[in-house]
Amino acid sequence: MTQPRSPLFELDDIHVSFATPDGPVEAVRGVSMQIARGETVAVVGESGSGKSQAMMAAMGLLAGNGQVTGAARFNGDNLIGQSKRALDRIRGAKITMIFQEPMTSLDPLYTIERQIAEPLMVHGGLSRRKARARALDLLELVRIPNAKARLGAYPHELSGGQRQRVMIAMALANDPDLLIADEPTTALDVTIQAEILGLLADLQTRLGMAILFITHDLGIVQALADRVYVMRHGVVVEHGPTDRIFAAPETAYTTMLLDSEPTGRKAPVAPEAETVMDARGVTVTFTTPAGFLSRPSAPIHAVRAVNLSLRRGETLGVVGESGSGKSTLGRAVLQLLPSEGRVSFLGTSISGLDRSAMRPYRKSLQMVFQDPYGSLSPRMTVGEIITEGLLVHAPELSAKDRDARARAALQEVDLDPAVRNRFPHEFSGGQRQRIAIARALVLHPTLIVLDEPTSALDRSVQKQIVTLLRDLQIRHAMSYIFISHDLAVVRALADHVMVMRDGTVVEAGSTAQIFDDPTSNYTRRLMRAAFDLSTVLSEQSVART
Amino acid sequence: MTDMPPLSAAALPDSSSRSLWATALLRLRRNRAAMGSIVVLILLSLAGIFGPMLSPHDYARVYPAFVKVPASVEAYPRAADILPAAEQVLTRARLTPDTIRLDGTVLTVTASASRPIDPRVTRYLDRSDLFSNARVTATAPDDLSVTMQADVARYYFFAGTDANGRDLLARILISIRISLMIGALATTVALIVGVAYGATAGYLGGRIDSLMMRLVDILYSLPFIFFVILLVVFFGRNIVLMFIAVGMVEWLDMARIVRGQTISLRRREFVQAADALGVGAGGILRRHIIPNTLGPVIVYMTLLIPKVILLESFLSFLGLGVQEPLSSLGVLISEGAKDMRGAPYMLLYPSIALTLLLFALNFLGDGLRDALDPKDR
């Protein structure tokens, strides 16, 4: 696409700084970019690169301690420094935004119809009937199945993908010229992500608006964007047409982003290795008991009769979309949830053991959680977090011994042992995940259940964590149960893969077999959405025309 | 493969480590109202602790001669009152005053009579409430005139005196002590019981939680005044009962707040992580749940102290609280309110003290809330 004379939206030398107790922190340092009418532009960068803050500043949505200089011109009008009232004429009408989290962006107390129709009535001056008709149109436009029935639904009745569609419908309500999509698919499963991206591409060709796509994932950019801006540390390090960026990146940073899919494969274990974990017919059913005035709700079968077996040093990858029961399975195996079936660890049955009977085994069975922000207690130092398990399992150790163990564990995960006295909020996501791994390692476990340990991290950090996990496994002969929806990571780590859907195993086998020769349609769809996004998107648009 | 710096401590910010508490304190320090409140609170606490010791008047001492004297920086009795009183005494002793002079606390009188004067004439001066230690310093050779000296006790009542003739300033100081003590102790009781109870109920959940919270509901439904009257009837009037009564009521709110916090914390991953480590219920409560509920708890506490002080004032106002001669700000205000027109200072000064105390605590509570939860502003 050629550069038009006057861009639709233009950032000119935007600087954003935040006042903190330690003095101002510059988040964005002189960012300039242009978007032409009808163009799709992607802004790519890892977390903390300032990509979202630059847009927020342009839209007047900065946090209270933020300060912005520079100019953000929309059709030639500078948005920065305008009154809220003046901004509101543009925000929500000419420029609309969709955000990452579809769960929290909708008001849980409003029906879908009201969420979409109310702005139409207030800003657009439509009558109730017209607004309703328009809401229905919009829902059909974003391809929500059975749109008419969905008008009366509440947000919690919709799936994550559907909620994101509703958000897009709301953003489109006033026929915007520019849609800013801030990580719109990060919280979604790969297959849903493909659908949403396809929808956005389709809407753009039909409605002719410009789309500004903010993302950390270069993979999804290739299929969508005309041009790409790569940001790092608050500056644009590289920009240009998508094809050029992908074919011949100029900076090492872009190369690294492009190359950040985890590589390498796990070496197989010796066939004579002992079986560490063996589970037969694991079933988890959730029921809410009958209350004082309420009947018991229908039981939910989260996991149905799953078998798994794991030898020392092996990794089992558990793959599936959200709601498939993979995390529940991981917790059930560790006896953190009441479950049926038989689970044995090193030949001893551990199923149904209560808290105190389970305690001796906890030392050998560890878990690492998805959210590195939530899994570390914010009021404890890193040293206290890491050594907490020792208080339980090795109470005879003195404070000095515990400290030595903490230092060793931190060294294992490539963190400076001097960080022991710091608090978790001072670390980045990747560093926190390393701390969480150190907490599991300090007890020298036999098996670690890793529940989406890389999902909340940037691609390049993911890669480092994957390498770390592989190294640690070899060094300590540990077994992993690796739960993830990210197929690329699973491929780099697992010996065996189990694909789950709706609580049951759809397909299981060796990693090579699952990835190269999947037998079930569901697995095939997952693979294609993850590794072949462009083809999926072009097929979608072909299917539509 | 990349030019990314390796993940290590080198990538960490250089500033020294700071806990969440330290950052909160930093934010608090920039809140002028909160910092001013802390200064006021420290001054009030010092006044409450040391004021009654340093005050020249005992809070229980009655000066029958000075009932309801207004607040003044002048010493009592006033010079204008002393001289006529001295004259009156001399007349009663059948002496003719020649000169009457007042130098600070010493009264010097020169008097004469038609008959020789007996040195025991000083007793007339001593008999008066105003004078003490009267002595003859010089006698004329003919015994017809005499120079006497007597000490005059002069008192300063900067805040006036109450209806019984007790120094109001001393009473305000002791009241601040009592009010702060009740505030601090009852709040501590509420804090300890409420946090332990709420965290246990919230963490254990299920049937135990239901049982524990129903007990709270039952206690809630007891009428507070009825409860206090019962306590007073059975155990007599006692300041300890005040703590128990107020604490018994206030821990219920605290337990509910902590329980709510705990229920949301229980679902957090770091609690699950501790569970997966095999940490027992006690350890999870102690190390994970309670420290993380402390933010809202501390804020609630700073707001609870003024509430408790008001409750105590209310009880004292009704006559169920502290007993004479001890006093509390509520008692003083209730006494002052009885004679608002005749002696407005009796209402004014205790009210100023209470208002200062409550404002300072509320500003501090607000400041802490903002400092501990900056996102919520």
CA distance A449 to A461: 20
> In this predicted structure, what is the pLDDT of residue B212?
92
The Cα-based distances of B125 to A288, B56, B82, B86, B120 in angstroms read: 91, 25, 12, 8, 10
> In this predicted structure, what is the pLDDT of residue B14?
42
Question: Nearest-5° angle of CA B346, CA B347, CA B353?
Answer: 100
Q: Which residues contact B361 (CB under 8 A, 6 or more apart)?
A: B37, B41, B302, B303, B305, B306
Candidate ranges A78-87, B62-71, B215-224; pick with highest mean pLDDT: B215-224
Of A392, A438, A390, A432, which is closest to residue A413 (Cα–Cα)? A438
pLDDT of residue B55 exceeding 60: yes
The Cα-based distances of B350 to A376, B68, B241 in angstroms read: 49, 15, 24
User: Exposure of B73 by Cβ count < 10 A (0-12 exposed, 13-18 middle, 19+ buried)?
Assistant: exposed
CA distance A388 to A371: 19
Contact check, Cβ <8 Å, A359/B278: yes
Whether B31 has its CB under 8 Å from any CB of chain A: the answer is no
> In this predicted structure, what is the pLDDT of residue A448?
93
Condensed to tens digits (0 to 9), the pLDDT of residues A410-423 reads 988 888 888 888 88
Optimal mutation site among A22, A292, A377, A419, interface B, most CBs of chain B within 10 A: A377
Mean residue pLDDT across chain B: 81
> In this predicted structure, what is the pLDDT of residue A450?
92
Mean residue pLDDT across chain A: 84
Range of lowest pLDDT (A36-40, A94-98, B129-133, B194-198): B129-133
**Exposure letters B235-251 (e unless 16+ CB within 10 A, then b):** eeeebebbbbbbbbbbb
Contact check, Cβ <8 Å, A375/B23: no
* Closest residue to A22, CB basis, from B15, B27, B294: B15
CA distance A522 to chain B (A): 30
Placement of tokens 């006698």 in the chain: B139
Cβ contacts from A onto B, under 8 A: 127
pLDDT of residue A530 exceeding 60: yes
Which chain A positions have a beta carbon within 8 Å of B295's beta carbon? none
Nearest CA in chain B to A395: B279
The Cα-based distances of B192 to B55, B180, B256 in angstroms read: 35, 18, 13
Q: How many CB atoms lie within 10 A of CB B225?
A: 13
CA distance A475 to A471: 6
Quick one: pLDDT band at residue B5, thresholds 50, 70, 90? very low
pLDDT of residue A252 exceeding 80: yes
Tokens of B294: 């402390």
Which chain B positions have a beta carbon within 8 Å of A370's beta carbon? 269
Q: What pTM, to 2 d.p., does this model score?
A: 0.75
Contact check, Cβ <8 Å, B12/A461: no
Nearest CA in chain A to B374: A64
**Exposure letters A203-230 (e unless 16+ CB within 10 A, then b):** bbeeeebbbbbbbbbbbbbbbbbbbbbb
Cβ(A136)–Cβ(A167) below 8 Å:
no
CA distance B372 to B354: 27
Tokens of A394: 């090795």
Whether B27 has its CB under 8 Å from any CB of chain A: the answer is yes
What is the three-class DSSP state of B348?
helix
CA distance B359 to B33: 10
Rounded to an integer, the average pLDDT of A49-74 is 83
Of B363, B304, B305, B355, which is closest to residue B332 (Cα–Cα)? B355
Contact check, Cβ <8 Å, B6/A414: yes
CA distance A317 to A307: 13
Contact check, Cβ <8 Å, A370/B9: no
Nearest CA in chain A to B2: A256
Q: How many CB atoms lie within 10 A of CB A441?
A: 25
> In this predicted structure, what is the pLDDT of residue A290?
62
> In this predicted structure, what is the pLDDT of residue A544?
58
Which chain A positions have a beta carbon within 8 Å of B279's beta carbon? 388-389, 391-392
Rounded to an integer, the average pLDDT of A433-459 is 88
Q: Radius of gyration over alpha carbons of chain A, in Å?
A: 25
Tokens of B221: 């439904």
Alpha helices in chain B (DSSP H): 20-29, 32-54, 79-92, 122-127, 168-204, 206-221, 224-235, 239-266, 269-277, 281-283, 290-317, 329-338, 345-372
pLDDT of residue B10 exceeding 50: no
CA distance A340 to B99: 110
**Torsion, CA B125, CA B130, CA B136, CA B141, rounded to 10:** -60
Whether B291 has its CB under 8 Å from any CB of chain A: the answer is yes
Candidate ranges A215-219, A493-497, B317-321; pick with highest mean pLDDT: A493-497
Tokens of B76: 């009592």
H or E stretch covering A328: helix A326-333
CA distance A223 to B275: 43
Cβ(A11)–Cβ(A59) below 8 Å:
no
pLDDT of residue A27 exceeding 50: yes
Condensed to tens digits (0 to 9), the pLDDT of residues A471-492 reads 999 889 899 999 988 888 888 8
Of B7, B22, B278, which is closest to residue A435 (Cα–Cα)? B7
In angstroms, how far apart are the furthest CA atoms of chain B? 124
CA distance A405 to A442: 7
Cβ(B200)–Cβ(B106) below 8 Å:
no
* Surface of A (387-426) touching B: CB under 8 A: 388-389, 391-393, 414-416, 418-419, 421-423, 425-426
